[in-house]
């Protein structure tokens, strides 16, 4: 049996295992479909975020892109994410907004981000995301994979992107936010669905945040949505020559 058939068989067995227990689950628990893409950064954080969401009152299903399934077995992905209800590749095209109460993108790859910005519904992930947005269903995305000034990029030796490249990534993230995709940090996941219809909470930028950015050599900090900047943070930003930009006001 080749690896492709092995993966499909493993998917089917895992799905049967999960659904055999589904009758015992509270049907009132939100159904969250996780759309998992592969990327060169943010995978571990994405896996951890899904595992964390799985400890709450949610029923999770996982749809992994074909490229990711080509390098990881279904069992390996189940162990990484803690989700054992994986959708077999041959069944994914049948999914519709009726199959989930919310969509989560735990790894916002640049490939998926670009396709979303251009509304490339020829890609199955994008098609389902657009359908869910048009149906009024919550769609959330962890943005680390497209935030080149996040400290994790520096830790992995990826902090030398040109200003134009950084600006392009940031503008694409801003664009999908305008489409209705909720931009999330891992700490937001616990309250994401319960607050999906509430206005976004204000960020608070402190002197400690500015100092941390200066240590990473950053010259700008981009704020997405409402924010409070403490007076000491403003003074520290001027001291280090760091520009504070509100993404929606450029």
Mean pLDDT by 10 residues, the chain (250 residues): 56 54 55 95 94 88 91 92 89 88 96 96 96 94 91 90 91 92 85 63 78 84 78 92 71
Domain membership of residue 214 as a residue range? 200-250
Residue carrying structure tokens 């199959």: 99
In this structure, are 61 and 160 located in the same domain?
A: yes
CB 185 within 8 A of CB 201: no
Could you count the other beta carbons within 10 Å of the beta carbon of residue 157? Answer: 7
CB 214 within 8 A of CB 240: yes
Strand blocks (E) in the chain: 31-36, 59-64, 102-105, 139-142, 182-184, 203-205, 220-223, 227-229, 243-246
In this structure, are 173 and 241 located in the same domain?
A: no
In this structure, are 215 and 102 located in the same domain?
A: no
Residue 65 sits in a domain whose CATH number is 3.40.50.1950
In this structure, are 154 and 211 located in the same domain?
A: no
Say how many domains are in the chain: 2
Whether the full predicted model's pTM is greater than 0.75, yes or no, is no
In this structure, are 42 and 98 located in the same domain?
A: yes
What secondary structure does DSSP assign to 165-224, as a single string? HHHHHHHHHHHHHHHTPEEE-GGGHHHHTTTTTSPPPPEEE-HHHHHHHHHTT-SEEEE-
In this structure, are 28 and 148 located in the same domain?
A: yes
Residue 235 C-beta-side C-alpha neighbours within 13 Å: 4
In this structure, are 235 and 132 located in the same domain?
A: no
In this structure, are 134 and 182 located in the same domain?
A: yes
CB 170 within 8 A of CB 177: no
Nearest to 205 by CA among 240, 231, 230, 236: 230
Q: Residue 6: what pLDDT?
A: 61
In this structure, are 178 and 149 located in the same domain?
A: yes
Q: Residue 77: what pLDDT?
A: 93
CB 96 within 8 A of CB 124: no
In this structure, are 165 and 249 located in the same domain?
A: no
In this structure, are 110 and 214 located in the same domain?
A: no
Instruction: Give the CA diameter of the chain.
Output: 64
Cα–Cα distance, 222 to 111 (Å, whole number): 22
In this structure, are 183 and 163 located in the same domain?
A: yes
> Which of 177, 198, 219 is at the close of a domain?
198
Q: Residue 9: what pLDDT?
A: 61
Cα–Cα distance, 56 to 45 (Å, whole number): 17
């Amino acid at each position: 049996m080749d690896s492709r058939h092995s993966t499909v068989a493993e998917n089917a067995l895992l799905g049967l295992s999960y659904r055999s227990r589904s009758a015992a689950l509270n049907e009132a628990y939100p159904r969250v479909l996780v759309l998992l893409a592969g990327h060169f950064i943010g995978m571990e954080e994405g896996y951890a975020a899904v595992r964390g969401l799985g400890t709450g009152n949610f029923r999770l299903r996982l749809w992994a892109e074909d490229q990711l399934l080509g390098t990881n077995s279904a069992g390996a992905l189940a162990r990484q994410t803690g989700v054992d209800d994986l959708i077999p590749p041959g069944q994914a095209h049948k999914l519709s907004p009726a199959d989930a109460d919310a969509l989560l993108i735990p790894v916002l790859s640049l490939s998926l981000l670009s396709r979303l910005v251009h509304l490339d519904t020829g890609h199955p992930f994008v098609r389902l995301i657009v359908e869910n947005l048009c149906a009024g269903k919550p769609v959330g995305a962890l943005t680390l994979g497209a935030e080149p000034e996040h400290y994790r990029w520096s830790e992995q030796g990826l902090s030398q992107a040109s200003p134009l490249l950084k600006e392009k990534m940031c503008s694409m993230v801003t664009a999908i936010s305008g489409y209705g995709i909720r931009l999330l940090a891992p700490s937001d996941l616990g309250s994401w669905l319960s607050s999906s219809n509430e206005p976004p909470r204000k960020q608070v930028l402190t002197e400690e945040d500015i100092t941390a950015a200066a240590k990473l050599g950053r010259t700008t900090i981009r704020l997405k949505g409402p924010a409070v900047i403490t007076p000491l943070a403003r003074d520290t930003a001027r001291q280090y020559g760091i520009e504070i930009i509100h993404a929606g006001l450029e």
